[in-house]
Amino acid sequence: MKKLNVYSVYLDDGKDVFRVTVPAASKKDAAEYVRGNGDVVAIKPADLQDIDLDALADTLKRAQWGQMEIDIITRALAACGLDR
């Protein structure tokens, strides 16, 4: 899988300006992901660039998620390069 970055995409829908956090390979891909939801005002790298997968797995396990689901989620994040 491609290494993903996390972007904050600021959108103007004509009434409000709001932020969407998007994992994407590039700013162009981030803009494409939110297309149709308003005009893109700005795209900036988000403060969050990685996720502590051990902490996530522990949190999901305590919330009664199954091990198969936990494995899929954490492996997908790791494959995208979003693991800490």
pLDDT single digits (tens) 2-40: 789 999 999 999 999 999 999 999 999 999 999 999 999
pLDDT at 68 over 90: yes
pLDDT at 82 over 90: no
- Tokens describing residue 25: 């390979």
pLDDT at 1 over 80: no
Average pLDDT, rounded, for the chain? 94
Q: What is the pLDDT of residue 81?
A: 85
Predicted confidence band of residue 80 (pLDDT cuts 50, 70, 90): confident
The CA distance from 22 to 51, in Å, is 14
**CB 34: neighbour CB atoms within 10 A?**
17
Q: What is the pLDDT of residue 70?
A: 98
